[in-house]
Structure 1
Amino acid sequence: MTATRYDRRMYAVMNDRRAAAVYATAGRRRLLVGAHVVLTGVGVAAWIGTVFGSGWILAVAVAATLLPWVVLTGALNGSTRGLLELRGRMLDERQLVERDRVRAVAHRLTLWLLVAAAFGTGAYGVLADAPLRAAVTPALVGVLAAHWMMPLWVAGLRVQDEPREPEEEFGDAS
Structure 2
Amino acid sequence: MTTTRLTRYDRSMLRLMNDRRSASWYATAARRRLAVTAHAALTLAIGGLMTHFFLAKGEPLWPVAVMAVLLLPWMVATGVINSATRGLLELRERALDERQSAERSRVLARSHRATTLLLGAVAVTLLITGGVAGDAPKAYAAPLLIAVLVVHWVMPLWVAGWHAEDEPADDDVLEPGLADTL
Q: Which amino acid aligns with 1:30?
A: R
Greater shift after overlay, 116-125 or 96-105?
116-125
Q: Which amino acid aligns with 1:24?
A: A
Give unpaired runs (5+ residues) of structure 1.
none
The TM-score normalised by the length of structure 1 is 0.93
1:76 to 46, 56, 81: 81
* Structure ID, larger Rg: 2
1:114 to 111, 116, 119: 119
Q: CA RMSD in A?
A: 1.7
Query: How many Å separate the matches in 1 of 2:81 and 2:150?
Result: 16
Kept after mapping to 2: 8 A contact 1:121/1:139: no
Q: Paired residue for 1:154?
A: 159
Q: Deviations over 1:37-89 (max 9, x none)?
A: 00000011111221232211211221111000001000100000000000011
Q: Paired residue for 2:130?
A: 125
Query: How many Å separate the matches in 1 of 2:134 and 2:48?
Result: 23
Q: Structure 1 residue runs of 4+, over 4 Å off?
A: 166-170
Give unpaired runs (5+ residues) of structure 2.
none
> Number of matched residues?
173
Query: How many Å separate the matches in 2 of 1:88 and 1:73?
Result: 20
Q: Paired residue for 2:30?
A: 27
* TM-superposed deviation, 1:133: 1.4
The TM-score normalised by the length of structure 2 is 0.89
Q: Paired residue for 1:103?
A: 108
